[in-house]
Structure formats: structure tokens, C-alpha cells
Structure 1
Amino acid sequence: MKRTLGVFDAVVIGLGSMIGAGIFAALGPAAAAAGSGLLIGLALAAVVAYCNATSSARLAALYPQSGGTYVYGRERLGDFWGYTAGWSFIVGKTASCAAMALTVGAYVWPQYAHGVAVGAVLALTAVNYAGVQKSALLTRIIVATVLGVLAAVVVTLAGAGEADRLSIGADADAWGVLQAAGLLFFAFAGYARIATLGEEVRDPARTIVRAIPIALGITLVVYAVVAVAVLSVLGGTGLATATAPLADAVTAAGHPELAPVVRVGASVAALGSLLALILGVSRTTLAMARDRHLPAALAAVHPRFGSPHRAEVAVGIIVATLAAFVDIRGAIGFSSFAVLVYYAIANASAWTLAPRRRIIPALGLAGCLLLAFTLPVSSVSWGAAVVALGAIRYLFR
């Protein structure tokens, strides 16, 4: 494929993946699990994400190909582990796509959320079909809009909150904090989009290594500032029960006229996340199709647009079908489990690179497994079953 993206474009694609998912979709379920321990869960998720990002960046510099950990696991650990990583990424991020599409529907037209979600998926699939440059341009616009809306929310809430609502950990238990961290990890996993674009960035050894930590650092700052502002107004209990946390927060702060603006920002943010998610899933699909782990026809690259157009269309159809039926909170939990398995394999792969630099991949591997198996029971059950199904399929082939 064509190498057209620089550091700035790669960072923007990473931001578009993360900010929409975290602020508007994961805060509520995480607060329900952790209560006043939400910020502790956020910090824990950030530590695990940092370890994963560092491991992914080191591996991406060595293997600048489409596919991310599918490629790294195959090269460092063997074909089975690469396949398992790719399978986990595709099924987990397909669920993420459905969750983001439903977030768009819930904010734009709640009564017809599933119909709006399907329309959003089909429209963004068409954008991605036209090539990654079109996707990067649209993502720039989306990220700028979302950051502007979030800045307005923080300024609005700054003088309306109460410090005692931030009593960190007062009514939280360790298990709830770990569950919240696992759910919030869903919000940080967008930097994988940068690694999966390994064939479309200029000078990948430099670009990817720089872009991943920059995107992660900016996202962490944004998450922390917004979470503190919303918690200071709604408190842990109010945030846990809010259907649209940021819109509810500005209304509670005495500015209901801003709620429609926040809803628009949420819709745009979720669109940005969905756009980048479809990019990442289709690139991993391309890589696995090249190795015949998926139908070989999906490995085609469009001669004009330079995009994996058949993979794009296939992913779009599957995501649109899921978005018509699934539940958003269930999709987030399932996605978190599968993606944590994916990053566990990334850290295990990074462990093999240099004996003197094993602390970060060791922490990342342990953190991924801990968070994966402290998620809600239904998420662990369904996630483990689907990952096992992929492993069985590999063994039979």
C-alpha cells in the first residue's frame, strides 16, 4: 500500500480512535463498577496502556507491516500466537465498532439508535474505501471538533462542582476498581490503529515510535481532566446512572442549553472512533488474508485508492449487522476482553526482543491478564468462548 501518512496524521488517527470511545461510552459503565474509585481505575488502565503502547511501538519499528500484533506474534512467538492475536483483534474490535456505531445512534436519535448506527457504519465504510488519506483528513476535522466541545464542557463545569464528590476510593472495592480499569482500557486501545497502519506511514521506524506515546499521552490528559470535571458535578453514583454523562453534567451545572452541543460532540467523537476502528480491523483482516487465515480474496488492494477495499466492505457489512442487534454495554465488555488478550500477546512478543528491557512487557502482560479476567462474568465467558473458537478453528486447519 502507499506510504502517505506522517507523524501528525498518525497521532490524529490514534486520537480519533481513543477520545470518542472513552469519554462518551466507557465512563458510565466504569463508574458503575468502581464508584468513587473511578479515577484509580483510570490510572491503572493508563499504566497498562502505557506498557502496551511501549511494547507495540518497539515491535512496530521492527515489523512495519499491516496487521499489528498479528505480525509481531507470528514473527516472535510462532504462527499460532500471531493467529490468536489477529483473531482476538478482529472479533474484539468488530464489537468495538458496533459499540461506537450505537453510541452515535444513542446521541443522534435515541428512538432509532440501531438504524442510525447501521447508516453510520455504511457511510464511513465508503469513506475508508476511498483511501487512508480521505480517512485521515476527516479524522482531523472530527478530533478538532471533539476537543473543542470537551474544552467547553470542562470550562462550564469548572465552577459548578463540589470537591467532596471527588472522595477518591471512599466507597470503592478492589474488584470494582479492577473491573473499571478493564472497561476503561477499551477507551485507551485506539493507539493500535497506528501500529496496524504500518504499510501506510512514511518512515515507520520513526513515525510509529513517536506517534503512539504522543497520542496516548494527550488522551490520558484529556480523560483525566474531563473525568474530574464530571465527577465533581455528578459524583460517582450520578455518573454510574447517567445515560449521557457529559450532557447530564452540563445540565446539572445549570447550563441545559449546552446539552445539545455536547450531544453533537459525542456523535462526532463516536464517528471518529468508528472511522479509525474500521481502518484497523480491515488492515488486520488484510494481513490475515494474505496468510490464508481468512479468505484470500480479502487481501486485494484497490489499484487506484490503495485501500484493502474488499476487507473494508466485508468488515462494514459485519459491523452493520451487529449494530442492528447488539447491546452497547455488552459490546464494550466483550471487546475489552478480546483486546486485552491481543495486547497480552503483544507484550509476550516484546519480551523476546531484549533481555535487559523486559520490565515493561512483563508488567504489560500481567496487567492485561489481570484486567481481562476481572471483567464482568458475561464478558469473560463470551470473550473466552470466542477466542477459544478461533484457536479451535486454527488447529483444525
Structure 2
Amino acid sequence: MPASGEREAEGELDRTIGLVGAVTIGTGTMIGAGIFVFPGLAAGQAGPAAAVSFAIGAVIALLVALPTSELATAMPQSGGGYYFTSRGLGTLSGAIVGIGLTFGLMFASAFYLVGLGEYAAAILVEAGVIPTTETPLGPLNIVLLFAATAGILLTVLSVFGTENTESLQNAVVGFLLAILTVFLTVSGLDVLGVRGASRVPTEFAPEGFGPILTTAALVFTSYLGFAQIATVAEDVVDPDRNLPLSMLGSILLVGVLYIITMLIAGSTFEPSVIGPMGETAIVEIAREYLGFPGVVVILVAGLLATISSANASILSASRALYGLSSDALVPAKAAEVNREYGTPHFALSFVGGVTVVLVATGRTEVLAEVASFLHLVMYGLTCVALIVIRRRDPDWYDPAFETLGYPAVPIIGGGASFALILFMQPLSRALGVILTFAAVAWYLLYAREIELKDKLP
């Protein structure tokens, strides 16, 4: 068993991700879930008031992003929240966050891939390739087959170089933003009655205000993208400038898009109608306002968006595992860097393999909430870590960005992160608790003797 956290990694990661690339990692991840997967699930629970659920998520994300930005500029290392908490709160907290973050990103990746499978199957249905109600393999098997295949291909792509991931993200996100601008403008004008009869609902919260917080807990997965930027901090060029700008900017951009999308979704269909539409409800909204051409465009956009989300999540999960291995909290193999491509190939292979296994469950909401649970634990502890590090004031701590509203912002952000967990469904909370205890058990059995130094290597 290793006795020190100062293991020398097999290689160093190349800094190849610029500001645009960092923003697209965050934005691309968040657009995939928030706009193309959640409208039916969220509006089915809360109606138009689901827009408030997304607004709550954005506020919590911003409250956490500010402390995360400060810590990231002081410690621009792979691992993100793991690195911050391990230096601020010690090895046990670091193990809980690092292992939780790795698995949280794998659950998120599986969630995005299932959404990808839904869109791929919907394209085949619209093209008349498979029947609407039944297929030779069964509709769920078709979805999972697409999802698992995509997971394998994205993992292989990431192994061959981070610049491949960045190029894919830049192209996909630019295309998505163009499509969404047109779609939301046309459908928004229709809802307001500019192009016909107004569709503004008489009841903003037809299901009452109770579901708003439970829906916020469900859809918080939509805001995980900003933390993924911190996770790949060691790949980011000029981190002092680009990390804060990309994290805060991506939250604000997608938050506005989410709120507009949910107002349109909730105004178009009643909760009892849009809920059963599931992960591809946005396709039916496009059909309502833009006809079949709109359906085709949104189907393609949804496919690309879920690819983008899964792509960024797989990359970030591998970097979280790489950070754990660099500190000797997991076996050294995970820190091996491919000398030709400059990527942690073993970490990527492990992440891709586990993600494909999780895809097989097909439980969209559970995958999303467990991912949120594990990230919310990390967010809460990250806010605590900032307060502890500020009070200790070590010599090496010199952030280029300081949290606005300190200490109120990290206190409120951390408290809100932990509180949101209480509104998740029992199964998701149970799985999150089990994985957290598993991280503690791993620490006690494998990493208890490891001592980390505050001073960065």
C-alpha cells in the first residue's frame, strides 16, 4: 500500500483547452440535459413552474461556481473538487469527493447516453425504419444498444487526444446554439401570440408549488457542466483567466436557455400530456410550432447535444480518477498517461466501461439524481474547503480570482447544496448514500495511511 500522496505520475497532461473550449465543455454538457432530455420530465411534474426549478438550480450553481473559481485559479489541477477538498479538509474528505465525483460523472454520462439512445431511436421511428410501438429487439433494447455503442466510441475518441474532444465540443455547441436561437425565438413568439393565438397558460403552477423543489433536485444534473471545467483545469490554457470566465459564463448562458425552454414547454402542453412524452418531449414541441422540418432539426440537435454531454462527462470523469491516482488514493495505473496522445488511457477505459454498464439499467431519472447527489456532496464540501483554506491561509494559496460576497456566498451555496438532496426520490438518495459509504470504506482499507501535503508539488 502506498504510504505517501506524492507519487510521481507517469506523465503530464498537455494544456490544450482554451477559453472557447472550456466554455463549450461546460455549455455542451449542460445543454444536452437541460433542453433536450428534461422538458418532458420536468414540465410533467411542475408545468410552466418548472422554469422556477431551473432558476433555483442556476442560483445554487452560481453560488458554488464562485468558490470553485477561486479554488481552481489557486489550484489548477486535474480532479477539480477532489483536489480542493483534499487540500482543505484532508484525505478522507478528498476520498469521499474524489470517488463520488468520478462515479457521479459516470452516472451523468450514462444518463446522457440513454438520452442519446432515445433520440437515435426517435430518428429511426420518424424515418419509418422501425415501427413506433414495437421493434424486433424491443424499443428499450434499441435505445440501450445505441447508448452503449456511443459510449464506447466516445471513450476511444478521448483516448486519442484531448484536442479531439475540444474540437468536437466546439463544433457541436456552436451548431446547437444556432438551432436553439431559431427554435426558441419562433416558438416563443407563438406562445406570446405574436404569430397567432396566445398560448400563455392561465395557471403558472397547475400542480401546485410543492413539485418545484423536487423538480429542482431532479434537473440539477443540468448544471454539472461548470464543475467539469474545474475537473479538467490541468488541460486549460491560462487558467487564472479562463477558469472563472468559463464556469460563470456557461451557467448564465444555459440558465437563460433553460428557463425560456421550460416556459415554452409548460405553455404548450398540460403536465398530464407532456409527462408521458419522456426524454424526447422537445421533439413534439418542435412539431407543434415548426412541423416536420422542425422535428428533423430538433432530432439531429438532440442527438448532437446528448453526444456533447456524454463526451464532456467521460473526459471529466477520467480526469477525476487521474487526480485520485496522482495522490495515490487509487492504484497508480489510473495516472498513466499515453506518451503518444498525452491522455490517461487507463482512466478513460475504466470510466467508459463502467458507464456502459450503468447505461444497461435504463433508469433515466435515477441516473440523473444519483449524479446530482454525488455532485451536491462535492459542492457542499468545496464551499466548506474554501472557508477552511482561507482561515488557514497557507503560503502557497494565491488565487487570481476571489469569491464575491465571502463568506456569505460559500455558506449559502454549501447549505443549499446539501439541502437540495433532501428533495430527491428515496432510491436515488439510498444509492448516493451507499456510494458515499463505499468511498469511506475504500479510504479505510486502502488510503488511510496516505498523507497529503498542503504545498502543491
Task: Tell me how far apart the structure 2 counterparts of residues 9 and 268 of structure 1 sit (CA, whole Å).
Answer: 16
Q: Distance between the aligned counterparts of 1:264 and 1:255, measured in 2?
A: 15
Which runs of no fewer than 5 residues in structure 1 stay unpaired? none
The residue aligned with 1:204 is 239
Q: Distance in 1 between matches of 2:38 and 2:437?
A: 26
The one-character-per-residue Cα deviations of 1:62-118 (angstroms, maximum 9, x if unpaired) are: 111000010000101111111111111111111111111111111112530111111
Amino acid at match of 1:381: A
Distance 1:166 1:119, change over 3 A: farther
Deviation at 1:146, TM superposition (A): 1.5
The residue number in structure 1 matching 2:172 is: 142
Residue matched to 1:386: 435
CA distance in 2, matches of 1:199, 1:141: 22
What are the superposed Cα offsets for residues 149-172 of structure 1, whole Å, 9 maximum, x if unpaired? 222321331343245427333532
Tell me whether 1:219 sits opposite 2:254 in the alignment: yes
Between the two structures, name the one with larger relative contact order (CA 8 Å, sep ≥ 6): 2
Q: CA–CA distance in 1 between the matches of 2:409 and 2:177?
A: 30
Q: Give the superposed CA RMSD.
A: 1.8
Distance in 2, matches of 1:239 and 1:12, equals 29
Q: What TM-score do you get using the length of structure 1 for normalisation?
A: 0.95
1:64 is paired with a residue whose SS is: coil
C-alpha separation in 2, matches of 1:69 and 1:179:
25
Q: Does structure 2 retain, via aligned residues, the 8 Å contact 1:38–1:236?
A: no
Q: Of Structure 1 and Structure 2, which has the larger fraction of its residues in helix?
A: 1
Cα distance in 2, alignment partners of residues 65 and 14 from structure 1: 17
* Structure 1 counterpart of 2:408: 359
Alpha-carbon distance between aligned partners in 1 of 2:267 and 2:290, rounded to the nearest angstrom = 14
Greater Cα shift, 58-67 or 335-344: 335-344
TM-superposed deviation, 1:133: 1.0
Distance in 2, matches of 1:166 and 1:75, equals 52
Cα 1:254/1:25, change in 2 over 3 Å: closer
One of 333, 343, 366 as aligned partner of 2:369: 333
User: How far does residue 254 in structure 1 lie from its aligned partner after superposition?
Assistant: 6.1
Which piece of structure 1 moves more, 386-395 or 119-128?
386-395
> For residue 154 of structure 1, what is the amino acid of its counterpart?
L
After TM superposition, list the pairs within 5 Å mapping 1:1-397 onto structure 2: 1-109=13-121, 111=139, 112-161=142-191, 162-165=198-201, 167-174=203-210, 176-243=211-278, 244-253=280-289, 255-354=291-390, 357-397=406-446
User: Which moves more between the two structures, 274-283 or 383-392?
Assistant: 383-392
Inter-partner Cα distance in structure 2 for 1:317 and 1:237: 37
Which structure is larger by alpha-carbon Rg, 1 or 2?
Answer: 2
Q: Measured at CA, do residues 258 and 164 of structure 1 come closer, stay the same or move farther in structure 2, by a change above 3 Å?
A: closer
8 Å Cα contact 2:45-2:207 kept in structure 1: no
Structure 1 residue 2 displacement after superposition: 1.1
Q: What is the CA–CA distance in structure 1 between the aligned matches of 2:153 and 2:367, rounded to whole Å?
A: 21
Residue 292 of structure 1, CA deviation:
2.4
**Shift of residue 26, structure 1, vs aligned partner:** 2.5
Matched letter for residue 228 of structure 2? R
Letter of the structure 2 residue corresponding to residue 279 of structure 1? L
Judge conservation of contact 1:31–1:237 (CA < 8 Å) in 2: no
Query: Is the CA contact 2:71–2:84 (under 8 Å) kept in the aligned structure 1?
Result: yes
Alpha carbons of 1:45 and 1:30: their partners in 2 closer, same or farther (altered >3 Å)? same
Q: Deviations over 1:177-206 (max 9, x none)?
A: 111111221001111111011111122122
Secondary structure of residue in 2 paired with 1:357: coil
CA offset at residue 263 of structure 1?
Answer: 1.2
**Conserved 8 A contact 1:182-1:374:** yes
Aligned mates of 1:27, 1:368 — CA distance in 2: 22
Q: Kindly, what percent of the aligned residue pairs are identical?
A: 26
Whole-Å separation in 1 of the counterparts to 2:47 and 2:272? 6
* SS of corresponding position for 1:95: helix
Mapped to 2, the partners of 1:61 and 1:6 lie a distance apart of 15
TM-score of the pair, normalised by structure 2:
0.83
The CA distance in 2 between the partners of 1:303 and 1:107, in whole Å, is 36
8 Å CA contact 1:30–1:179 kept in 2: the answer is: no
